[in-house]
């Protein structure tokens, strides 16, 4: 069978245009960022020059290392993104998925049963991710064992990298199989309402993973040790009490066995919430600075940022799924991408293909709306910083923590505003520092 893609089909044109435009925008932004580093990369921002720790942390050598690290990542990203683009277009435009569909039909008959629908949908999900995973292997190895090692971050062994890759592949495959099977039941049994049921299942699954991941999946990759008794735990406990935050525990994660990068995060949902500190973070920050960082994370909880996001995202999930459902009814969608055996008479039996294609099209243009979500995220980060400064009583603790984290992680200091607007979910260190300094001196910069 000839799986010919119709390049004049509007759905195909949207996919191609969205994919290429997104690719070009990303390359334009990365080049703008690269050029800005050549101009400003060796300079300490004026806003940080009156902070002694900043002058110590960002000396000439450190500023040079930051530029070299960011440039190395950029030069590795260029061929990686080109290969990803070629693969993404090739799988769609050379009829790979219609070929898989035809193969399943020959083995199991036309997908009108739950089993055949599951097999086809599962293979679509797997083959939409595994080729890119395989393609990313050489770039991942270069980044981890050459680039990250060169700049003193990598502590991972090849054995651990392989172990992580296999575990991640197995877990992803199991979850994909589970979701594919559940979705296939609804595709077959509820041809007109699967969009509503599937959206409900996906939302429930997201909440369920918030409980399952920290207790069952994360421990497969890292060791989580309860924070020892002492002044740090006492300070954190007092902070949690003052915020009314009830957690399932405070844990130290052995992040140093993979990388020297530092971080901390809250995970879980409801009573399963827990606070996780990288062991590298505990070593690099003072207790007060660490408390300030956690105060920021608590700010998101206290200011109900997560709840506000859910109130927006959950209805949007249903709307988006309904739109995808409507798109899946168009026979032109299938014929355009080479599914020539699908007709108006049998389209109701293969809506999982329509959903897959609709998601693929959406994915090609979804990044074009990312600046709008990033803007909201940056606003919440400012509010969380303000909360942390107020609850700890000392904005300088958070400022110093941000300076240390930025310095140790070799994060960029002065990215272009357009790059920040498009890509940054957090304000830059300069923007955050200026906002926090205003709390110390309310009249400053007015």
- β-strand pairing of 250-253 with 274-278: parallel
H/E segment holding residue 250: strand 250-253
Token representation of residue 320: 């988006």
Q: For residue 171, how many other CB atoms are within 10 A of its CB? A: 15
**Residues 109-131, buried b or exposed e (16+ Cβ, 10 A)?**
eebeeeebbbbbbbbbbbebeeb
Length of the chain: 446
Instruction: Spell out the alpha helix ranges (H) of 143-249.
Output: 148-150, 158-189, 194-212, 231-243
Cα–Cα distance measured from residue 427 to residue 416, given in angstroms and rounded to the nearest whole number: 12
Dihedral pair phi/psi, residue 276, rounded to 5°: -120, 125
Q: How far is CA 277 from CA 100, 274, 281, in A?
A: 44, 10, 7
Cα–Cα distance measured from residue 317 to residue 123, given in angstroms and rounded to the nearest whole number: 24
- β-strand pairing of 250-253 with 224-226: antiparallel
Cα–Cα distance measured from residue 373 to residue 377, given in angstroms and rounded to the nearest whole number: 6
Q: Which of 70, 297, 408, 412 is catalytic?
A: 297
Specify whether 412 is catalytic.
no
Q: How far is CA 140 from CA 76, 89, 300, in A?
A: 10, 21, 32
Cα–Cα distance measured from residue 443 to residue 228, given in angstroms and rounded to the nearest whole number: 42
Known catalytic residues are 297
């Amino acid at each position: 069978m000839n799986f010919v893609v119709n390049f004049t089909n509007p759905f195909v044109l949207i996919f191609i245009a969205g994919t290429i435009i997104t690719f070009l925008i990303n390359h334009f932004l990365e080049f703008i960022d690269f050029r800005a580093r050549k101009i400003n990369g060796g300079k300490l921002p004026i806003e940080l020059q009156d902070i002694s720790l900043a002058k110590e942390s960002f000396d000439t050598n450190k500023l040079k290392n930051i530029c070299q690290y960011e440039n190395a990542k950029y030069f590795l990203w260029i061929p990686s993104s080109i290969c990803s683009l070629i693969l993404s277009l090739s799988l769609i435009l050379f009829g790979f998925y219609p070929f898989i569909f035809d193969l399943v039909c020959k083995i199991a008959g036309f997908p009108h049963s739950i089993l055949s629908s599951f097999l086809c949908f599962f293979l679509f999900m797997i083959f939409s991710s595994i080729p890119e995973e395989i393609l990313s292997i050489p770039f991942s190895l270069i980044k981890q064992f050459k680039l990250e090692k060169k700049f003193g971050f990598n502590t991972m062994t090849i054995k651990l990298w392989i172990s992580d890759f296999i575990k991640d592949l197995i877990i992803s495959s199991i979850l994909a199989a589970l979701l594919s099977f559940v979705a296939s039941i609804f595709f077959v049994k509820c041809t007109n309402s699967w969009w509503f049921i599937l959206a409900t299942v996906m939302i429930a699954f997201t909440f369920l993973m918030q409980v399952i991941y920290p207790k069952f999946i994360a421990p497969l990759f890292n060791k989580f040790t309860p924070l020892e008794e002492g002044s740090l735990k006492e300070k954190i406990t007092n902070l949690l009490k003052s915020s009314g935050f009830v957690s399932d525990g405070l844990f130290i994660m052995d992040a140093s066995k993979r990388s020297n990068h530092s971080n901390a995060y809250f995970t879980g949902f409801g009573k399963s919430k827990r606070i996780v500190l990288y062991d590298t973070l505990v070593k690099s920050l003072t207790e007060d600075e660490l408390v300030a960082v956690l105060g920021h994370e608590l700010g998101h909880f206290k200011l109900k940022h997560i709840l506000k996001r859910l109130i927006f995202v959950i209805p949007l999930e249903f709307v988006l799924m309904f739109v995808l459902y409507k798109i899946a009814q168009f026979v032109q969608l299938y014929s355009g991408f080479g599914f020539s055996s699908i007709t108006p008479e049998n389209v109701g039996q293969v809506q999982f293909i329509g959903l897959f294609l609709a998601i693929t099209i959406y994915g090609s243009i979804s990044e074009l709306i990312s600046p709008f979500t990033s803007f909201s995220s940056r606003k919440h980060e400012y509010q969380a910083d303000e909360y942390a400064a107020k609850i700890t009583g000392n904005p300088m603790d958070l400022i110093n923590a941000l300076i240390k984290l930025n310095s140790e992680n070799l994060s960029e200091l002065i990215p272009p505003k357009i790059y920040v607007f498009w890509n940054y979910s957090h304000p830059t260190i300069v923007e955050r520092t200026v906002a926090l300094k205003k709390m110390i001196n309310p009249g400053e910069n007015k």
